[in-house]
């Protein structure tokens, strides 16, 4: 019986060290980020190219300015465009904080 408890202890220690190793690698790229209502954020601009209208998505801005309208959950936010129209619900992975002042923003 002593051998089984020793093996169990070894396996438990190895599992714990593997968990810590994996957690360290995962947390290297994790952003701890949250926004409040009224915060300005950059949201990813998801557009498609349209040959008929001579529009190339490659040349469109990658991010557009929006304002947090409502916090749905820890990871999902309801946004409004700079002109006040609804922009829909966006996951935090598609958002970046806005660090400029209000005078930097021009609607148009």
Shared domain check, 89 and 66: yes
Shared domain check, 65 and 21: no
Shared domain check, 94 and 57: yes
pLDDT tens for the chain, residues 1 to 108: 678 999 999 999 999 999 999 999 988 887 788 999 999 999 999 999 999 999 999 999 999 999 999 999 999 999 999 999 999 999 999 999 999 876 555 554
Shared domain check, 92 and 49: yes
Nearest alpha carbon to residue 99 among 57, 29, 42:
42
Shared domain check, 64 and 25: no
35 part of a folded domain: no
**pTM, to two decimals:** 0.69
Domain with 5, as residue range(s), is: 1-30
Shared domain check, 26 and 64: no
Shared domain check, 76 and 25: no
Shared domain check, 73 and 23: no
How far, in Å, are 13, 80, 82, 90 from residue 43 at the CA level?
A: 43, 10, 11, 8
Alpha-carbon distance 107 to 41, whole Å? 14
25 part of a folded domain: yes
């Amino acid at each position: 019986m002593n051998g089984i408890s020793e093996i169990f202890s070894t396996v438990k220690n190895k599992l714990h060290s593997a968990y810590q190793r994996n957690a360290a690698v995962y947390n290297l790229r994790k952003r701890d980020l949250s926004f409040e209502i009224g915060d300005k954020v950059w949201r990813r601009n998801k557009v498609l190219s349209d040959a008929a209208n001579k529009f190339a998505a490659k040349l469109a801005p990658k991010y557009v300015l929006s304002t947090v309208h409502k916090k749905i959950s820890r990871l999902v936010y309801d946004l409004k465009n700079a002109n006040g129209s609804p922009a829909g619900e966006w996951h935090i992975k598609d958002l970046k904080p806005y660090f400029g002042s209000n005078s930097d923003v021009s609607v148009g």
